[in-house]
């Protein structure tokens, strides 16, 4: 009888990495059955979807608190499903606020709990790491500095073992070579896929791009627009295709909310560049390539929202800066809890401040325009960033992380390690 595994991912990046894990697992255990929470990629890999990602992709303490009733309902519906299925193991993928609480309840049922892409508790007060070690049996880490961190919390009662398997980002398809029409410098913008952060980041990015064009009139902008963003919020990107719009004229559109954008697209500006770039990104060979990899690969400089996308962008080797702008209350809480000197994954992995980081009020048109100017013209700065980013692949463990994680989990569950 095939084994059943309950797997949880709560956002787009987790959906992608969990899908790769399921695919790798099925090469080792073809009859394995996966049930749980995930998105379209996990479903395509064979997940029986007990809950999709609708409503789950929320960032910020206050934003999550406002949806407490919704998350509580999802939590207990999934827990009831676990009790019905009695899976061989629970597999959690990132998404700590939900998954850690869920694992604590599932462990009470005597079901092994495994974690892949562990919560970044090394960035927070260590108390959470100690609690995690009480009810997670094995954790499969994507950064080489994580196992030594978690080992400090192992005791006879806290037996969680951590294993470094490398980062699955290195298993993503290589970016095919794309030649943009020659001429202007190119700047890419990746403002994120979450609705409640997209607008707060895209507005200063658009305005900053327009300011930068004052110094570089022929500058070309590439803006990533994720599926699911409401059309009224995405309307701000229309301004990048207008030749003579000035920053002060930019303001929030008053359109009524509509349904979301259905397909991820790339907005090109100004109009003269949009015309000659039209259709280049629609080729079939680019359909499986994330915008976070594709756009920085063809850009002289990139402005990237904080998160895993910064690693995807950094692996392309071209200069960049990282931006983060959250809700005021959520940010204030985070500052009380976070205990690291930098926040971008690129800098954390490299162990130094290699790419600039803009936080909260620093995410403004003037500062973004200044970073673009430096990234396009300062040769010493450009060369230093390129040299630092060239170190990233060696820090991430090499290809094959998904298969190493799947093999490690199977071996643990079969008592072979």
The CATH number of residue 244's host domain is 3.40.50.2000
Give a yes or no: residue 36 inside a domain: yes
User: Is residue 264 a contact partner of residue 145, using CB atoms and an 8 Å limit?
Assistant: no
309 and 352 share a domain?
Answer: yes
User: Do 154 and 160 contact (CB within 8 A), yes or no?
Assistant: yes
- Check whether residue 238 and residue 387 sit in a common domain: yes
pLDDT of 242 over the 70 cut: no
Determine the structural domain holding residue 43 and report its residue range.
4-166+400-413
Q: Which of 107-116, 239-248, 314-323 has the lowest mean pLDDT?
A: 239-248
Short-list 109, 118, 106, 12, CA closest to 56: 12
Q: Which pLDDT band, with edges at 50, 70 and 90, does 249 fall under?
A: very low
Helices (H) and strands (E) in the chain, counts: 18, 13
Higher pLDDT residue, 45 or 16?
Answer: 45
- β partners of residue 140: 116, 163
Residue 277's pLDDT is 76
Confirm if 413 and 88 have CB atoms less than 8 A apart.
yes
Residue 281: the pLDDT is 73
Residue 359 lies in a domain: yes
SS3 call for 382: helix
Q: Where are the beta strands (DSSP E) in 217-286?
A: 220-225, 265-269
**Would you give the DSSP letter of residue 396?**
T
Question: Is the distance from CB of 91 to CB of 5 less than 8 angstroms?
Answer: yes
What percent of the chain has a predicted confidence (pLDDT) above 70? 82
Q: Which of these, 6, 8, 26, 16, lies nearest to 403 by C-alpha position?
A: 26
How many separate domains does the chain show? 2
Asked whether residue 159 is domain-assigned, the answer is yes
Q: Is the pLDDT of residue 255 over 70?
A: no
Paired tokens of 408: 């490690």
Q: Please tell me whether residues 244 and 387 are part of one structural domain.
A: yes
- For helices 379-389 and 365-377, give the axis angle rounded to 10 degrees: 90
Q: Are residues 256 and 128 in the same domain?
A: no
The pTM score is 0.79
Shared domain check, 202 and 120: no
Q: For helices 127-135 and 96-107, what crossing angle results, to 10°?
A: 40
Give the model's pLDDT for residue 63.
58
Residues 152, 120 within the same domain = yes
pLDDT in tens, 349-364: 998 999 999 988 888 9
Structure confidence at residue 250 (pLDDT): 39
Whether the predicted pLDDT of 284 surpasses 80: no
Q: Is residue 297 part of a domain?
A: yes
179 in a structural domain: no
Q: How confident is the model at residue 267 (pLDDT cuts 50, 70, 90)?
A: confident
Residue 174 maps to a domain:
no
Once rounded to an integer, what is the mean pLDDT over residues 246-268?
A: 55
- Do 243 and 270 touch, CB atoms closer than 8 A? yes
**Per-residue model confidence (pLDDT) at position 95:** 87
Task: Give 164-197 pLDDT, tens digit per residue.
Answer: 999 999 988 888 888 888 888 999 999 887 766 7
pLDDT tops 60 at residue 248? no
Say yes or no: 113 and 44 in one domain: yes
**62 part of a folded domain:** yes
Q: What pLDDT does residue 335 have?
A: 57
Count CB atoms within 10 A of the CB of residue 414.
11
Same domain, yes or no: 37 and 158: yes
CA 34 to centroid of chain Cα atoms: 23
Q: State the Cα–Cα distance between residues 313 and 389, nearest whole angstrom.
A: 10
pLDDT at position 247 is 38
| 42 falls within a domain | yes
* Same-domain check for residues 200 and 331: yes
**Percent above pLDDT 90 for the chain:** 48
**Same-domain check for residues 229 and 99:** no
In this predicted structure, what is the pLDDT of residue 274? 78
Residue 2 CB-half CA count within 13 A: 12
For the stretch 26-76, pLDDT in tens is 999 999 999 999 999 999 999 999 998 887 765 555 456 667 678 889 999
Where residue 339 falls among pLDDT bands split at 50, 70, 90?
low
Q: Are residues 224 and 313 in the same domain?
A: yes
Domain shared by 191 and 149, yes or no: no
């Amino acid at each position: 009888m095939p084994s059943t595994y309950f797997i949880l991912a709560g956002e787009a990046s987790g959906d992608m990495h969990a899908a790769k894990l399921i695919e790798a697992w099925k090469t080792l255990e073809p009859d394995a059955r996966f049930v749980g929470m995930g998105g379209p990629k996990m479903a395509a890999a064979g997940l029986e979807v007990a809950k999709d990602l609708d409503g789950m992709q929320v960032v910020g303490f206050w934003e999550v608190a406002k949806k407490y009733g919704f998350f509580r309902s999802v939590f207990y519906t999934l827990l009831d499903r676990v009790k019905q299925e009695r899976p061989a193991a629970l597999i959690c993928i990132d998404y700590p606020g939900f998954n850690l609480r869920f694992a604590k309840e599932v462990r009470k049922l005597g079901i092994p709990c495994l974690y892949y892409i562990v919560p970044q508790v090394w960035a927070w007060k260590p108390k959470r790491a100690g609690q995690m070690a009480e009810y997670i049996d094995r954790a499969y880490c994507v950064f080489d500095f994580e196992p030594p961190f978690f080992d400090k919390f192992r005791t006879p009662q806290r037996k969680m073992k951590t294993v470094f398997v490398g980062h699955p980002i290195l298993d993503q398809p290589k970016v095919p070579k794309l030649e943009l029409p020659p001429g202007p410098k190119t700047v890419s913008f990746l403002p994120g896929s979450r609705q409640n952060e997209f607008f707060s980041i895209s507005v200063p990015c658009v305005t900053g791009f327009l300011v930068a064009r004052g110094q570089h009139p022929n500058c070309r902008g590439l803006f990533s627009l994720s599926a699911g963003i409401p059309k009224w919020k995405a309307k701000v990107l229309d301004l990048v295709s207008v030749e003579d719009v000035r920053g002060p004229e930019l303001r929030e559109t008053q359109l009524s909310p509509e349904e979301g954008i259905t397909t991820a697209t790339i907005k090109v500006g100004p109009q003269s560049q949009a015309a000659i770039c039209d259709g280049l990104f629609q080729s079939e060979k680019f359909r499986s390539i994330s915008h976070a990899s594709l756009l920085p690969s063809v850009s002289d400089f990139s402005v990237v929202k904080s998160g895993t996308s910064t690693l995807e962008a950094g692996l392309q080797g071209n200069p960049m800066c990282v931006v983060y702008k959250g809700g005021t209350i959520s940010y204030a809480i985070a500052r009380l809890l976070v205990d690291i000197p930098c926040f971008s994954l690129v800098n954390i992995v490299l162990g130094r401040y290699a790419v600039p980081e803009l936080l909260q009020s620093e995410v403004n048109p003037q500062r973004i325009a200044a970073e673009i100017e430096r990234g396009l013209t300062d040769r010493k700065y450009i060369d230093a960033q390129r040299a630092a980013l060239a170190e990233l692949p060696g820090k991430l463990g090499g290809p094959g992380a998904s298969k190493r994680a799947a093999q490690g989990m199977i071996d643990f569950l079969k008592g072979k390690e």
